[in-house]
Amino acid sequence: MKFKTILTIIFMVYTILLVYYSTIAPWRLVEKTAAVMGGSLFAFDPGMSFRHMIAYSLEGLLASAALSPTDAIFVAIPLGMFDESIQAFVPWRTFDLHDLLANVTGSALGVGLYLLLRKRWEI
């Protein structure tokens, strides 16, 4: 199997898991995850936004490696915006502008990181 194919599969699986766990996961799983991470579900938690940024940085990095940096911008950033926005309509989730901004920033950072690594290691 080619390396690019493996990266594409990893990207697709990660994207599915990211959307599932951050948007439509059952309430008991959301509570359990919040408890394990030590965060509060309904109070502003700067650490939670940071975790969003890390998760979407990986999304941007994987999207860049699997597709291209240009395509990654048009996939990862809208996905981060959609993912947070849809939470306004899921009863056990809440929309948070800080998280939306963290998703967008993280996606852009992931694409930028890929560009730096590609240039450095000639990927």
Question: CA of 79: how far to CAs of 37, 59, 72, 119, in Å?
Answer: 23, 9, 10, 26
Contact residues for 50 (Cβ-Cβ < 8 A; gap 6+): 102
53: which 2 tokens?
């940024």
Digit-coded pLDDT (tens) for 49-63 = 888 899 999 999 999
Digit-coded pLDDT (tens) for 87-96 = 888 887 888 8
Residue 32 in 3-state DSSP? helix
Query: What pTM was computed for the model?
Result: 0.82
